[in-house]
Amino acid sequence: MKACGTLLLLLCATLVLSPPVSADSSLVTGYLVEYFRQCEPGSFVDVGDTAGNPPEETLTYPQVNFENSPVWKKPNGGDDLPFNDEFAAKFTGKISLGGQGEGEYTFCLKSDDGSKLWVDGSEVVDDNGLHPMKKVCGTKSLSGSGTVSFKITFYEDRGDAGLIFSWKTPNDDTESVVPASVLSLPQGGAGVRAEFFRQCHTVNNLADLKLD
């Protein structure tokens, strides 16, 4: 859809002007999720500008672990999310490396549609573009102590959507979903901060949304 109709535009404008709804991250471990609704094509120029683009909804999940499905659920077996097509997301947080070992880490994103991953400021995975669920991995050498920052950008066009963040560490060569026990919010506390944006038009890759 190229632009919002009159009714949809009114709905989108109402949501954009609504203040963020905060979740108490002390109640559920995981990552903070903020959902956004946007209607004007090409207007995703600054996803950090929450004053002009306030979240539609704020949630907390235990992991970045969305199996490929028509609709993503709210945490702890909750209701469906309020949209299932044409949305984008940016996840940010920190990973604790204590006990994981020093050396080469493998990080993977399995997604439908496009996704990218940065670790400690460097791009590690590029799984961009429209495609069915597929996995792309990359490696990065890390000290094995303290924490490192990470960022995931993701978008979904239509149909099923999925996003799974997994890793292998120097001390464990078995690939597994990055556990909630090592995830923390950028500002502290358990979890990962995620900002979700609702599209009102079709995009072909992450560059169209300027989420980097």
Per-residue pLDDT tens digits for 50-97? 445 556 667 777 789 999 999 888 777 778 877 788 788 888 899 999
The values of phi and psi at residue 33, to 5°, are: -120, 130
pLDDT for the residue 10: 32
More confident residue, 130 or 104: 104
pLDDT for the residue 189: 81
pLDDT for the residue 210: 52
β 193-198/87-96 pair status: antiparallel
HEC assignment per residue over 148-171: EEEEEEEEECCCCEEEEEEEEECC
For residue 12, name the pLDDT band (cuts at 50, 70, 90): very low
Quick one: average pLDDT of 188-196? 78
Residue given tokens 């909804």 in the structure block:
57
pTM confidence score: 0.73
Buried (b) or exposed (e) across 60-94, using 16+ Cβ within 10 A? bbbbbbbeeeeebeeeeeeeebebbbbbbbbbbbb
Q: Helix, strand or coil for residue 57?
A: strand
pLDDT for the residue 133: 96
pLDDT at 42 over 80: no
For residue 202, name the pLDDT band (cuts at 50, 70, 90): low
User: For residues 46 and 206, is the Cβ–Cβ distance under 8 A?
Assistant: no
pLDDT at 100 over 90: yes
- The residues facing 149 across adjacent strands are 94
More confident residue, 198 or 130: 130
The values of phi and psi at residue 180, to 5°, are: -60, -25
Please classify residue 126 by burial: count the beta carbons closer than 10 Å to its beta carbon, then call 0-12 exposed, 13-18 middle and 19+ buried.
middle
Residue given tokens 């000290």 in the structure block:
143
The gap from C-alpha 174 to its chain's centroid, in whole angstroms, comes to 23
Quick one: average pLDDT of 190-202? 69
pLDDT at 211 over 70: no
pLDDT for the residue 9: 32
pLDDT at 119 over 70: yes
